[in-house]
Amino acid sequence: ISFTDNINREAYFPFAGWSENLASSESKFQLSIKVPLNYNSMFIDGDEFYFGFTLQSWWQIYSENISKPFRETNYQPEFFYLAPLNWHPLGGNTGFMVGAEHQSNGRGQLLSRSWNRVYFDFLFEKGNFALSLRPWWRLPEEEKEFAFAADGDDNPDIGDFMGHFELGMVYKWDDYEFAFKGRENFAKHHGGVELGLTFPLWGKLRGFLQYTAGYGESLIDYDHSQQRIGIGIALTDVL
């Protein structure tokens, strides 16, 4: 369950009954998978090539006056190459990723949001700590000929709010894992932050706390600032 202090009603104004009846609490879930596409090293000893897919959904299961719809679902397929580096600062290990990804919400007309990116990701890990610095470049799209055109860029200013890089950090202490993600556009002073904590529950299930603030928690909210706090269950840790 996830609570927000500022549900995005503006995006849903054209749809009768939605905007005024959205609940500030909803269910949020994420599923991420990756599949290796090689079983032997290709260019560097220990390198790997993957297909990945992440799905995130925000479900208005607690709304009373609309039929408990999925308010937003984001789909993110990607291909990426992962390889170690022979560089060990501070006694740790380093590596890099190069990838291309598409992200969209599968909606039409006024609710459609999407973008394509290529990225480079520098990785560092030592003991119970890991760091990721991921700058990206958005692949350009053609402008829409008119507002309701099916072709063309649905969100030309997304970079102004989502920034041009993401910094991620994870630290594991005893049986607790702390995670941080941050994005920033220094020219526009827009960005977002995500804090997470997983802790033991029972068996393989982990408890999960998450706090987000700023822009871009989902694609429909890329230009909408809010704070969210959620509690739930995680099946795995990051580390």
The position carrying tokens 């706390």 is 209
Which 8-state DSSP code applies to residue 10?
G
Give the Cα separation of 217 and 161 in Å (integer): 11
Examine the residue annotation and report whether 104 is marked as an active-site residue of this protein. yes
Catalytic residue from among 25, 27, 104, 225: 104
> Which neighbouring-strand residues pair with 26?
2
Short-list 59, 51, 9, 12, CA closest to 34: 51
| Cβ atoms of residues 25 and 2 within 8 Å | yes
> CA-to-CA distance for 30 and 179, rounded, in angstroms?
16
Indicate which residue of 19, 25, 57, 102 is catalytic.
102
Report the distance separating Cα 74 and Cα 220, nearest Å.
Answer: 9
How many Cβ atoms sit within 10 Å of the Cβ of residue 9?
Answer: 13
Active site residues: 102, 104
